[in-house]
Amino acid sequence: MQLQLSLAVADRLHETLLVRGAPLDAHEAACLLTASAECPPALSHRILDALVAEDRRFCWTESSGDGASTLASGGPAAAGDVEEPCEGACEARDRRICLCHWQAADPDLLEVPFVALDLETTGARTGTSKITEIGAVRIEGLREVATFHTLVNPMRSIPRMITEITGITQEMVADAPRIEQVIPELLEFLRGAVVVAHNAGFDVGFLNYELRRLKGRELGDGAIDTLPLARALAPGLVNYKLATVAESLGAPVAACHRALADAQAAGHVFVTLMSRLREQGVTRLSEARAFMVSSARAATEKLALTRELPLAPGAYRFVDRDGRVIYVGHGERLQEQVRSHFTGMPSNARKMRQAVRLVERIEWEETHTPLEAILREHQLILEHRPSCNQHGVRPETYAYLKVRQAGPGLCLYVSSRTPRTLVTGDPGSKGGSSHQVLGPFRGRSRLISALDLLQRCYPIRDCPRQPQARPCDRGRTGGCLAPCLGDPAIRRRHDRLVRQILSWLGGRTDGDLVEPARRVEELAAELAEQKRYEEVQKLRQSWEDLLSVRRSYSALADASKLRFAALWPQESNGDGPTVRLNLIWDGRLCSCVSLRRENLRQDVDAALTGCIDEGQRPGEAGRVTGHEAATRRARNCHVAVWQHEVDPLLAVRRWLKEAAGPDAVIITASGPVRAHSDEWRDRLVAEALRMLDS
């Protein structure tokens, strides 16, 4: 019987076995796979035979008369091996399904062949990016015995940035073999060995993609990742990049983004760390694996905490033994999202690993829609300030770029102090105020670095000086136009330059402004000519910070202008079908309502009118309404929001651009909404009716 089992269903069985820690009866496992309380015994075995044949994680085990279990079929494959299901698997009725690693042999580390592997590619995404170089080192008896190296023709262009990193050019790979020519020789080199790599998910992921495409199979399970191993056995390093770890462990070959050198460096790291494990009495392969994934295994034991979570959108909280909320998240399908934290430990961020280690209880609340779940998550983060969340925990530290009319000309400066108001005119202009606010931005140091670079590139003031008879050092050397001298023409020229810089930050270009990129290149050339290479490197980093600030500002400006409606069909709860409507106005969720046929037009009209009326009311302290947003647009001022609004605004934008699922229907508003409110309302009503009728 040909049977295709979805990865999600097989994963559920895998997690169930991990939680129970013991094999499952075939009938019970088949009922779990088919989501049926009853499954005929013959069909149970046929389903599971197909699963064991296709999924290397599972195998059969037979129960002997004395209660012991023996391996019936399947088993862990080495890197180059292919599993074959045993004949007659369907006949035995006393077998149970289990995980292969429970039944695997446990050799001494000195008896196991390993291959340290490294790939260079045209990019970071499997499928769209391709392999350009493969390097491998075979290790036997924990000693290097052979190497494998080849360039690979990716059959596509190599981006300039990749060439700068790796040194691999288009000319170098033009006559190299294609990946389908390389794979057979590589598999022979890997035969019978356990793959080792630093950040193994990257290298193994690329190789498995090509193996699936060309051979219809993958490497055997169980590649060893030296990244978590190094974190455990070489603590205290500034980072755990391969180059850093290899240097700290005295590797004879430096990691340099070339495949063979990096494979040799990874091999040295692996052998050194294995030697440290052996000194601690860890001599068997299973013991080494247990040590390397101890945090992951501890996490899988906590999968039982997720059993009651629904497959519905919502927000969740990780609670530690003292009752403190340590992490807040959201998910479109809560159970799957939360389980991913416990089954993907090696790739999790440090704070996420900490949260998984400390969690003792999971609390959750369902929401009607994924969008409501996202915004509920940010409300909970502000309420609980969880220690393991990365963003949104302390928005009061986000920094604004402020423009102040303080004496002689406009002055740019960075401040995390909350402004009294976000609605200001152009500082220094007629009818304007003395301040203008942009942002805020995450990362105060990044913003300071960007501002320092702007003040190096352009002759604008960087001090709060009052008018004096003499300029500062920057003014005397031409680094500043010195508006402090009081010359009205110079001051106007200076203030115009500041406004041009702000326009560039906002994504606009002015014909009179020399582009910052050109100024940075000129400064870098001057420093390089003086052999001040460290300063050149710092200048490049400041340029990256400036571009990052510009992108962040563009995203915030885009988010604060979003106006759209999202509709989802909802399951009937006994009183007929409904459609859930989320109205986003100026980036903020202003209305959530469940629509029913009998009051459809009235409810849509009330929700839409409420948003429009909200936009006409003056803003209250601590928030921006549509009135303030409209005032800013009318005055052509720059975008500023309250600090606690940044993360929800960006989350809504990210959801709309990247995560809006096929279940949601998005209707965007454009133009003066009050003038077109009837048209927009009719579109919403028509779409809601279509959903109710479907």
- What does the DSSP 8-state code read for residue 638? P
Structure confidence at residue 531 (pLDDT): 81
Least confident of 37-46, 328-337, 408-417: 37-46
For 686, the 3-state DSSP assignment is helix
Q: What dihedral do alpha carbons 649, 653, 656, 660 form, nearest 10°?
A: -70
Residues in CB range of 474: below 8 A, 6 or more apart: 459, 461, 462, 480, 482
Flag whether pLDDT at 664 surpasses 50.
Answer: yes
* Closest of 502, 456, 513 to residue 479, by C-alpha: 456
Beta strands in 547-664 (DSSP E): 563-570, 578-585, 588-595
Question: 150 and 133 in contact (C-beta within 8 Å)?
Answer: yes
Q: How many residues does the chain have?
A: 694
| Exposure of 289 in the CB half-sphere (CA atoms within 13 A) | 19
The edge-to-edge listing of strands for the beta sheet with 410-415 is 410-415, 399-405, 435-441
Q: pLDDT > 70: what percent of the chain?
A: 77
Could you tell me the two tokens for 622?
A: 């601590």
- The structure tokens 């790939």 sit at 119
Average of per-residue pLDDT across 655-670: 69
In Å, how far are 27, 302, 344, 355, 567 from 388, measured between CA atoms?
A: 41, 18, 17, 6, 33
Which of 72-76, 100-104, 540-544, 614-618 shows the highest mean pLDDT?
Answer: 540-544
Q: For helices 226-233 and 259-279, what crossing angle results, to 10°?
A: 40
6 vs 203, residue with greater confidence: 203
Least confident of 94-98, 186-190, 322-326: 94-98
pLDDT in tens, 363-413: 999 999 999 999 999 999 999 999 999 888 999 999 999 888 766 778 888
Structure confidence at residue 31 (pLDDT): 78
The pLDDT mean for the chain works out to: 79
Average of per-residue pLDDT across 139-150: 93
Question: 237 and 244 in contact (C-beta within 8 Å)?
Answer: yes
Residue 96's DSSP bridge partners are 25, 61
Average of per-residue pLDDT across 491-506: 86
Confidence of residue 32 (pLDDT cuts 50, 70, 90): confident
Which of 66-70, 146-150, 278-282 shows the highest mean pLDDT?
Answer: 146-150
- The structure tokens 């190789």 sit at 207
Flag whether pLDDT at 618 surpasses 50.
Answer: no
C-alpha–C-alpha distance, residues 443 and 390, integer Å? 12
* Closest of 670, 282, 636 to residue 426, by C-alpha: 636
In Å, how far are 412, 556, 665 from 625, measured between CA atoms?
A: 26, 16, 25
Question: 325 and 386 in contact (C-beta within 8 Å)?
Answer: yes
Q: What sections of 282-369 are H helices per DSSP?
A: 285-292, 294-301, 334-343, 350-358
Flag whether pLDDT at 610 surpasses 90.
Answer: no
Average of per-residue pLDDT across 641-670: 80
Confidence of residue 590 (pLDDT cuts 50, 70, 90): confident
* Closest of 582, 666, 591 to residue 371, by C-alpha: 582
Flag whether pLDDT at 298 surpasses 60.
Answer: no
Q: What dihedral do alpha carbons 484, 485, 489, 495 form, nearest 10°?
A: -10
Question: 59 and 75 in contact (C-beta within 8 Å)?
Answer: yes
> Which amino acid, residue 317?
R
In Å, how far are 281, 567, 576, 577, 599 from 573, measured between CA atoms?
A: 60, 18, 7, 8, 17
Confidence of residue 64 (pLDDT cuts 50, 70, 90): very low
Instruction: Tell which phi-psi region holds residue 87, choosing left (phi > 0), alpha (psi between -120 and 50) or beta.
Output: beta
Structure confidence at residue 347 (pLDDT): 46
Confidence of residue 458 (pLDDT cuts 50, 70, 90): confident
Q: Is 384 a catalytic residue?
A: no
Structure confidence at residue 426 (pLDDT): 58
Could you tell me the two tokens for 161?
A: 């940035």
Flag whether pLDDT at 67 surpasses 70.
Answer: no
45 vs 520, residue with greater confidence: 520
Question: 263 and 133 in contact (C-beta within 8 Å)?
Answer: no
2 vs 402, residue with greater confidence: 402
Flag whether pLDDT at 297 surpasses 70.
Answer: no
Structure confidence at residue 152 (pLDDT): 95
139 vs 458, residue with greater confidence: 139
624 vs 390, residue with greater confidence: 390
Element (DSSP H or E) covering residue 213: helix 200-215
Structure confidence at residue 28 (pLDDT): 79
Q: What sections of 216-348 are H helices per DSSP?
A: 226-233, 242-248, 259-279, 285-292, 294-301, 334-343
Flag whether pLDDT at 313 surpasses 80.
Answer: yes
C-alpha–C-alpha distance, residues 680 and 672, integer Å? 11
End-to-end CA distance of the chain: 36
Structure confidence at residue 325 (pLDDT): 95
> HEC profile for 41-100?
HHHHHHHHHHHHHHCCCEEEEEECCCCCEEEEECCCCCCCCCCCCCCCCCCCCCEEEEEH
> Which amino acid, residue 526?
E
C-alpha–C-alpha distance, residues 23 and 29, integer Å? 9
Flag whether pLDDT at 316 surpasses 80.
Answer: yes
C-alpha–C-alpha distance, residues 582 and 566, integer Å? 5
* Closest of 362, 158, 120 to residue 257, by C-alpha: 120
Structure confidence at residue 74 (pLDDT): 40
Q: pLDDT > 90: what percent of the chain?
A: 25
Least confident of 44-48, 269-273, 386-390: 44-48
Backbone angles phi, psi at 368, to 5 degrees: -70, -35
C-alpha–C-alpha distance, residues 24 and 60, integer Å? 10
Could you tell me the two tokens for 526?
A: 């001057």
- The residue annotated as part of the active site, out of 14, 149, 257, 627, is 257
* Closest of 477, 482, 493, 402 to residue 439, by C-alpha: 402
Structure confidence at residue 659 (pLDDT): 61
Question: 128 and 205 in contact (C-beta within 8 Å)?
Answer: no
Structure confidence at residue 72 (pLDDT): 44
C-alpha–C-alpha distance, residues 600 and 610, integer Å? 15
Flag whether pLDDT at 140 surpasses 70.
Answer: yes
Backbone angles phi, psi at 438, to 5 degrees: -130, 140
Flag whether pLDDT at 675 surpasses 50.
Answer: yes
Structure confidence at residue 540 (pLDDT): 85
* Closest of 585, 587, 588, 582 to residue 565, by C-alpha: 582
